[in-house]
Amino acid sequence: MLRPLPGSERARVIWLLDAFQAAERAGVEAVGRWIVACADARLRGGLRMIRARDRRHAALAEARLRSLGGVPGARPSRELAALCGVVADPGVSDRSKLELLLGRLPAREDAPLDELVRRAEGDAETRALLETIVDDERATVRWLRGMRDALEREGA
Amino acid sequence: MSGPEPEREWVIRFLDDLRAAEAASAEVLAAWIAVCALDGLRGGLRVIAEREAAHAELLAERLGEMGVAPSAALAEPVRAAALERFGSERVSDEQKLATLLARYPDDTSATRPITDVLDRLHHDPETREILRLVAEGEAATVAWLRAYHAGLVRPASRV
């Protein structure tokens, strides 16, 4: 669940973009370390695309928040930092990482993503930016789920 | 099923052609963004342009790992015409959307060239998964643009 947002509409959007770019950057770093340790070529291929997209999502969010007069300064939450630590850990199996990531999604997986878009309601450009980024995030979740199922079937 | 060497040859050609198309698309979208009058459309185009650029970047990286320098390029007259049309302030955003969407009459037309390759790519699972996500990205792009265009042309009374 996202935390409550501060003050004015513009301040809220800037806060949202800042939190989002920090989370994406943390994810990019963790996935980068996972890729280095990953021995499964299929998983590595998909993770590389996910990292490439997330890196650009972070840059887009930062550019938008700067155009609104903000300065990036957010840091990932303690919970996210811990999750990234596990994802980056070469000692944890690929299957465990997939289970951990997918296990964090609530029963209705779209809920937090929809909330992210809804919070930019009054700013059409930011809203569309987040809406299309969320399309990528949904594709990521679908692909991760497919990989988890494949690894489970293979008993990897 | 083909062996790894013949597969490698056509895969390299396909990756390079796709990379060139994605890079050109990112360039044309950047020209459109620069003159786009609609805030919402501009926001979506920014992400779509970066999505295309990410695809091109990763495909080039993959070609490099296969020992190949990317060399394919869109025919210059085609590239120049696209830049002129999509970078023009005289052509409306609605017209640009209609032009683009006319190339994709159904939901699978943007992804079919890639999904056809997935079924034939037996010896390179890393490239296969990269392409699978490229196809997902293309589908998301067309779906978002189609939804936006539908909202744009729908009469206000029917909203």
Domain ranges, ordered by start, for chain A: 9-154
List of chain A residues whose C-beta atoms are within 8 Å of the C-beta of residue B143: 135
| Domain positions in chain B | 4-158
The answer to whether B29 touches B49, Cβ cutoff 8 Å, is: yes
How confident is the model over A127-152, as a mean pLDDT? 94
Please list, in sequence order, all residues whose beta carbon lies within 8 angstroms of the beta carbon of residue B45, skipping any fewer than 6 positions away: B29, B32, B33, B36
CA distance A140 to A142: 6
Q: Could you list the pLDDT tens digit for every one of the 159 residues in chain B?
A: 455 667 889 999 999 999 999 999 999 999 999 999 999 999 999 999 999 999 999 999 999 999 999 999 999 999 999 999 999 999 999 999 999 999 998 878 889 999 999 988 988 999 999 999 999 999 999 999 999 999 988 755 444
> Is the sign of the CA dihedral A153, A46, A48, A59 positive or negative?
negative
Beta strands in chain A (DSSP E): none
Q: What are phi and psi of A75, to 5 degrees?
A: -125, 155
Tell the residue number behind the tokens 């009374």, with chain if given.
B157
The answer to whether B85 touches B99, Cβ cutoff 8 Å, is: yes
Q: Quick one: pLDDT band at residue A116, thresholds 50, 70, 90?
A: confident
- Interchain proximity B39–A125, CB inside 8 Å: yes
* Mutation site for A-interface testing, chosen from B19, B38, B130, B134 by largest number of A Cβ within 10 Å: B130
Single pTM value for the model: 0.91
> Is the sign of the CA dihedral A94, A97, A103, A105 positive or negative?
negative
The pLDDT assigned to A3 comes to: 54
CA distance A86 to A82: 7
> pLDDT digits over B102-146, tens only?
999 887 888 999 999 998 898 899 999 999 999 999 999 999 999
Q: Which of B54, B125, B148 sits opposite A42 (nearest CB)?
A: B125
- Interchain proximity A129–B136, CB inside 8 Å: no
How confident is the model over A10-27, as a mean pLDDT? 92
- Interchain proximity A132–B47, CB inside 8 Å: yes
Name the CATH topology of B4-158. Answer: Ferritin (1.20.1260)
CA distance A118 to A127: 8
Q: Which of A44, A49, A57 sits opposite B133 (nearest CB)?
A: A49
CA distance B132 to B148: 25
ipTM comes to 0.89
- Interchain proximity A136–B137, CB inside 8 Å: yes
Long-range residue pairs from B61-65, CB within 8 A, at least 24 positions apart, any chain:
B61/A48, B62/B15, B62/B126, B62/B127, B62/B130, B63/B12, B63/B15, B63/B16, B63/B19
The CATH label, of 3.30.70.60, 1.20.1260.10, 3.50.50.60, 3.40.50.2300, for the domain at A9-154 is: 1.20.1260.10
The pLDDT assigned to B159 comes to: 42
